[in-house]
Amino acid sequence: MKKYGYICAFWLMLASFGIAAYGQGDSKQTIDASYDISLKIVVGSNGTGKSGDLGQDLAGVSRQLRSTFPFASYRLAGTFVGRISNTGNYEYKSVSDIFEPAAGQRYSPTFLEWSLNNLRSGQTAKGENAFQVQQLRFGARVSVVVDGDGGEAGKRVPGVSYESIGLSLARIGLAESTPTLIGTINLPGSEGTMFLVMTISPADR
């Protein structure tokens, strides 16, 4: 009987060691990789506003734009950066001054909002690293000059109205660390066009 008790105690002791070892091995979970996202807004126009080099990182996009759209000038209007993990989401809302007012017009802010949902990393059919975004939304409320009410001496006083613009994309793919033109939006009240360029790269740390 004592021998049987010793055997049971021995096996119970082994089981407790196994459970403890399993608990220690399971205490640390693998963290998903993080990625840096960059959204750059390029504005093309035929006006006399600012124009400049888009930078070496946008050299490929610049050639693509100039060969497709006949605008006289292009400028980098804004850059927005964020950080996201695999299968994560990102949302941005803010007030911006990325659009310059036309000559003689007063400054009016622009309200920006964009989001990226369910980022997934993987490889293309060619074996190249890439990303797939389940849904990407970009929206802006931009000011448009309209005829206002009559002012002094019967003169019309220009007013400002806000128009909503934007785009929504579902299941889009982007090559890793490659600036990619993801969409264009015509700017109301002008002949300009806004170009959205996104880059997703592995985070350094």
Do residue 105 and residue 9 come from a single domain? no
Same domain, 39 and 12: no
Strands (E), the chain: 34-45, 73-85, 90-96, 110-123, 129-146, 159-175, 180-186, 193-202
Average pLDDT over residues 85-101: 86
Q: Are residues 36 and 10 in the same domain?
A: no
In which domain, by residue range, is 93 found? 32-202
What are the residue ranges of helices labelled H in the chain? 2-26, 59-68
Rounded to an integer, what distance in angstroms lies between the CA atom of residue 43 and that of residue 194?
A: 5
Do 88 and 160 lie in one domain? The reply is: yes
pLDDT 10s digits, 143-171: 777 766 655 665 666 677 788 889 999 99
Same domain, 76 and 11: no
If asked whether residues 50 and 133 sit together in one domain, one would say yes
Given a cut of 60, whether residue 203 has pLDDT beyond it is yes
Cβ proximity of 84 and 61 under 8 Å: no
Do 109 and 39 reside in the same domain of the chain? yes
Residues 42 and 21 in one domain: no
Same domain, 36 and 121: yes
Please count the residues of the chain: 205
- pLDDT recorded at residue 124: 92
Query: Per-residue pLDDT for 103 more than 60?
Result: no
- Predicted confidence at residue 176, as pLDDT, reads 96
25, 52: one domain = no
Tell me the pLDDT tens digit for each residue of 116-142.
Answer: 999 999 999 999 999 999 999 999 988
Give exposure, 74-95, as e/b (b: 16+ Cβ within 10 Å). bbbbbebeeebeeeeebeeeee
Do residues 26 and 41 both lie within one domain?
no
Q: In total, how many domains does the chain have? A: 2
Which tokens sit at 95? 């007030």
